[in-house]
């Protein structure tokens, strides 16, 4: 079997980590680098990664996250937050994303109009800016967990939490940013249970 496919069979939502095993710093930095390199719609890179090292803060987050033990047993905890107001045109952030590509003022203005029209079309379809940015965070989260599995590290994505509580706990200005998802990384302490997945014939259609 292909090495990456083996990693996908290895990956599962690890509920209890071995608290005595720590992830090597180099491996963890590579996981973060994979998140940084993940694609994002319109190339806006709205996802930010907050690494939680403080033990007391992990315990506070656990209380807000339905008392999920992963928050305190994992070797690494990463909160993925998304930008909000900086992505509303016009903004210095939007300009900076165009300037770094060496675009002229005319090209930047033209691109800004395209981007503004894109946001408007989403909102007309009932898709909020926050919902759009959360999608980008999930792309990064998937890349990070898949890479972790590839190098033998377990993970668990956490969505079950009080959004307002997490934002408040971490001091996020919710006009500018908001939590999207929390990732925990470490090493399993129990053998993986049998996984159940639908077959390709049930999931894929050809036209």
Answer yes or no: CATH 3.40.109.10 is held by domain 3-13+50-87+129-185.
yes
The beta strands (E) that lie in the chain are given as 47-52, 76-83, 154-158, 177-186
pLDDT of 58: 97
Structure tokens at 7: 């990693």
Which of 14-18, 50-54, 103-107, 134-138 is predicted with the least confidence, judged by mean pLDDT?
A: 103-107
Closest CA to 52 of 162, 151, 153, 169: 169
Structure tokens at 5: 């496919």
**In sequence order, what are the beta bridge partners of 17?**
188
Task: Kindly give, in sequence order, each residue whose CB lies less than 8 Å from that of residue 183, ignoring residues fewer than 6 positions away.
Answer: 77, 78, 79, 80, 141, 144, 145, 155, 156, 157, 158
What's the rounded Cα separation, in Å, for the pair 142 and 47? 13
Cα four-point dihedral sign 188, 194, 196, 201: positive
pLDDT of 52: 98
In this prediction, residues 25-32 reach a mean pLDDT of 98
Which of 24-33, 98-107, 152-161 is predicted with the least confidence, judged by mean pLDDT?
A: 98-107
Q: What is the pLDDT of residues 110-143, one digit of tens each?
A: 888 999 999 999 999 999 999 999 999 999 999 9
Judge contact between 55 and 46, C-beta under 8 A.
no
Q: What is the pLDDT of residues 31-84, one digit of tens each?
A: 999 999 999 999 999 999 999 999 999 999 999 999 999 999 999 999 999 999
pLDDT of 102: 87
The domain segmentation of the chain, as residue ranges, is 3-13+50-87+129-185
> Roughly how many angstroms between the first and final C-alpha of the chain, as a whole number?
28
pLDDT of 69: 96
Secondary structure class of 45 (helix, strand, coil): coil
What's the rounded Cα separation, in Å, for the pair 139 and 38? 7
Q: What is the pLDDT of residues 136-189, one digit of tens each?
A: 999 999 999 999 999 999 999 999 999 999 999 999 999 999 999 999 999 999
Exposed e or buried b per residue across 155-190, where buried means at least 16 C-beta atoms within 10 angstroms of its C-beta:
bbbbeebeeeebbebbebeeeebbbbbbbbbbbbee
Task: Kindly give, in sequence order, each residue whose CB lies less than 8 Å from that of residue 93, ignoring residues fewer than 6 positions away.
Answer: 83, 86, 87
pLDDT surpassing 90 at residue 1: no
């Amino acid at each position: 079997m292909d090495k990456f496919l083996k990693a996908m069979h290895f990956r599962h939502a690890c509920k209890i980590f071995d608290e005595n095993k720590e992830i090597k710093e180099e491996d963890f930095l590579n996981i973060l680098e994979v998140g940084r390199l993940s694609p994002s719609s319109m190339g806006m890179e709205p996802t930010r990664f907050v690494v939680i090292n403080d033990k007391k803060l992990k315990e506070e987050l656990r209380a807000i996250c339905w008392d999920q033990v992963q928050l305190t047993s994992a070797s690494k905890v990463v909160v993925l937050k998304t930008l909000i107001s900086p992505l509303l045109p016009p903004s210095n952030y939007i300009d900076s994303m165009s300037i770094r590509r060496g675009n002229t003022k005319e090209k930047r203005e033209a691109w800004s109009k395209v981007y503004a029209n894109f946001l408007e079309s989403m909102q007309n379809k009932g898709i909020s800016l926050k919902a759009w940015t959360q999608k980008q965070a999930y792309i990064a989260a998937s890349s990070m967990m898949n890479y972790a599995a590839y190098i033998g590290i377990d993970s668990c994505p956490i969505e079950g939490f009080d959004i307002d509580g997490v934002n408040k706990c971490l001091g996020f200005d919710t006009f500018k940013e908001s939590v999207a998802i929390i990732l925990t990384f470490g090493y399993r302490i129990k053998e993986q249970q049998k996984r159940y997945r639908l077959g390709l014939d049930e999931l894929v259609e050809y036209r």
